């Protein structure tokens, strides 16, 4: 099966229960009228005149922000006193720039009306500005002085500095011991030319357009599991160290054995790596996992044991959430990736019928525990026809499953106890070229019961190759999906003689609820 779709990126938007404050007309008007009258010194002049802020002032100058603060634009500075910076390595240019830009915001941000806010800083980080009683804090540092007016903004004085915190993606890049995770996540970074946002500025001699180019930074993996670089979103993550990654990779990879025609070894490696990260991101901050009954990853895998999931981890605070680091991959196989597979017979989009007519029937008010409250009714297309129906099954791993077919009894519509007999044909991939084989199976007990649901074991089967869809991209960013689906044909085995013998009470009708594949753990 092969078809093409267009790739789309999913924007995960999280609503914070706190306000974001930035430069706006109301703030400017308030402080121009109330606080700024008589302020005749600039931001830099104020800093240079205050000996208690000399360390921070020198840091501002060392990264060139003194020139920025001398412009006519409005800024707010939260300036740490000298004692707060005694342990800072002033020769570390990156650290100094991070601290300086983490204490400067555009616009005038005073304490009036502040309760619990996040301020967008020049560092790109959102730092908390809060009031508790008569105390104001900025990133957990206390304000010693507040709302000091200068002619191009406001200054607050802090007893500590607000540390620059990595965001959740930056932690992957900076923390020791996460090299395997870093290689995979950062290896999917893309810097893509965006012609729609770029401006044509000239035409060259060959008549080709010359652009003032605009590029988009993108990461397909983070598009799927969460934009961990987004300072305005909040997540909790579980990061495997190299030790956890290598153990889990070696354990999981055999389950993704692709035939060469569907990507082979390369796609096996890619699917294994994605499986390792697909459930490592959760929405919002999870500070005490034991207080949760359950949590769901951003890819909608639900865990009912949050305390166990986060056991043996070390928590780090990020600018946009929490990162938990672990040496033991905590995601259970049969919860995260080696899942049960259930195909509803009545809603199968790739169902084929032979010698039969299919109908969807409701089980409402029947008293039977039928999934989705409906089932597929199959009747022969003629009195002597031997009906069958074939289902395509997807996302089966290279693993062992018990395969079941669940039948609905005839008594759902009749009082007479009528049974039927069935057999099956399993079609599966059996070569690296994608060739398939058909296996005829007649269960030792192939009779559909007259009363109650029949969960019939078709067979236990060890699939050599997975049929997870193979996804590839062309140069225009279109996505091609290819697969060789596993198929299960359900065949009615009631003979003409049995069907015509009323005493046997056998029917060629079939009522199928669903197909189930349950993982076999060894």
187 and 245 inside one domain: yes
The runs of H, that is alpha helices, within 193-234 are 220-225
512 and 368 inside one domain: yes
Given this model, what pLDDT does residue 328 score? Answer: 95
399 and 308 inside one domain: no
The count of domains in the chain is 3
Residue 9 lies inside a defined structural domain of this protein: no
Range of the domain at 491: 341-519
CA count, 13 A, side-chain hemisphere, 471: 13
Q: Is the pLDDT score of 323 beyond 80?
A: yes
CA distances (Å), origin 330, targets 248, 335, 501: 10, 11, 58
Domain boundary among 279, 304, 332: 332
Residue 491 lies inside a defined structural domain of this protein: yes
Q: Is the pLDDT score of 333 beyond 90?
A: no
283 and 386 inside one domain: no
Give the residue from 96, 150, 149, 105 showing the smallest Cα distance to 129: 105
- The CATH number that applies at residue 258 is 2.30.180
Give the residue from 183, 335, 173, 325 showing the smallest Cα distance to 240: 325
495 and 413 inside one domain: yes
Residue 197 pLDDT grade (very low, low, confident, very high; cuts 50, 70, 90): low
Residue 13 lies inside a defined structural domain of this protein: no
pTM of the model: 0.79
Residue 12 lies inside a defined structural domain of this protein: no
Domain boundary among 158, 176, 210: 158
110 and 179 inside one domain: no
121 and 240 inside one domain: no
Give the residue from 71, 25, 12 showing the smallest Cα distance to 44: 71
Residue 3 lies inside a defined structural domain of this protein: no
Q: Which two tokens stand for residue 475?
A: 């140069």
289 and 310 inside one domain: yes
CA-only gyration radius of the chain, Å: 32
- The CATH number that applies at residue 106 is 2.30.180.10
Residue 361 lies inside a defined structural domain of this protein: yes
232 and 298 inside one domain: yes
Residue 522 pLDDT grade (very low, low, confident, very high; cuts 50, 70, 90): confident
The residue-averaged pLDDT of 219-229 equals: 94
Residue 1 lies inside a defined structural domain of this protein: no
Given this model, what pLDDT does residue 29 score? Answer: 39
328 and 345 inside one domain: no
What is the average pLDDT value for the chain, to the nearest integer? 87
Q: Is the pLDDT score of 372 beyond 70?
A: yes
Residue 517 pLDDT grade (very low, low, confident, very high; cuts 50, 70, 90): very high
- The CATH number that applies at residue 392 is 2.60.120.260
Domain boundary among 314, 332, 350: 332
Residue 470 lies inside a defined structural domain of this protein: yes
């Amino acid at each position: 099966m092969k078809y093409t779709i267009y790739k789309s990126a999913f924007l995960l938007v999280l609503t914070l229960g706190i306000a974001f404050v930035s430069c706006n007309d109301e703030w400017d008007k308030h402080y121009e009228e109330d606080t700024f009258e008589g302020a005749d010194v600039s931001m830099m002049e104020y800093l240079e005149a205050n000996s208690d802020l000399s360390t921070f002032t020198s840091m501002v100058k060392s990264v060139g922000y003194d020139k920025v603060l001398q412009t006519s634009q409005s800024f707010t500075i939260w300036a740490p006193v000298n004692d707060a910076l005694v342990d800072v390595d002033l020769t570390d240019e990156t650290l100094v720039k991070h601290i300086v830009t983490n204490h400067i915001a555009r616009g005038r941000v005073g304490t009036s009306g502040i309760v619990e806010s996040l301020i967008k800083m020049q560092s790109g980080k959102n730092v908390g500005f809060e009031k508790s009683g008569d105390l104001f804090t900025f990133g957990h540092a206390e304000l010693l002085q507040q709302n000091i007016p200068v002619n191009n903004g406001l200054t607050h004085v802090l007893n500590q500095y607000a540390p620059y915190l990595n965001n959740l993606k930056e932690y992957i890049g900076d923390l020791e011991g996460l090299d395997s995770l870093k290689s995979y996540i950062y290896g999917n970074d893309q810097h893509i030319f965006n012609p729609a946002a770029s401006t044509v500025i000239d035409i060259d001699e060959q008549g080709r357009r010359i652009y003032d180019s605009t590029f988009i930074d993108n990461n397909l993996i983070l598009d799927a599991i969460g934009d961990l670089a987004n300072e305005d979103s909040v997540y909790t993550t579980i990061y495997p160290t190299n030790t956890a990654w290598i153990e889990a990779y070696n354990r999981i990879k055999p389950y993704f054995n692709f035939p060469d025609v569907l990507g082979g070894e390369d796609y096996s490696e890619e699917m294994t790596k994605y499986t390792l990260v697909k459930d490592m991101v959760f929405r919002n901050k999870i500070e005490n996992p034991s207080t949760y009954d359950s949590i769901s990853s951003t890819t909608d895998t639900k865990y009912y044991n949050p305390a166990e999931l986060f056991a043996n981890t070390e928590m780090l605070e990020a600018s946009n959430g929490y990162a938990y680091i672990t040496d033991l991959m905590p995601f259970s196989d049969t919860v995260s990736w080696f899942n049960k597979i259930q195909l509803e017979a009545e809603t199968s989009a790739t169902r084929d019928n032979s010698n039969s007519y299919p109908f969807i029937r409701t089980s409402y008010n029947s008293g039977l525990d039928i999934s989705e409250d409906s089932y597929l009714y199959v009747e022969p297309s003629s009195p002597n026809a031997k009906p069958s129906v074939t289902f395509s099954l997807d996302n089966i791993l290279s693993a062992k499953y018990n395969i079941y077919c669940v039948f609905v009894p005839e008594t759902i519509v009749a009082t007479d106890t009528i049974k039927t007999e069935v057999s099956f044909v399993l079609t599966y991939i059996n070569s690296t070229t994608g060739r398939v084989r058909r296996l005829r199976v007649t269960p030792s007990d192939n009779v559909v019961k007259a009363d109650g649901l029949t969960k019939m074991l078709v067979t236990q089967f060890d699939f050599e190759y997975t049929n997870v869809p193979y996804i590839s991209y062309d140069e225009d960013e279109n996505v091609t999906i290819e697969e060789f689906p596993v198929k299960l044909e359900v065949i009615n085995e009631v003979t003409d003689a049995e069907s015509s013998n009323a005493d046997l009470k056998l029917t060629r009708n079939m009522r199928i609820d669903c197909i189930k594949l349950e993982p076999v753990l060894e």
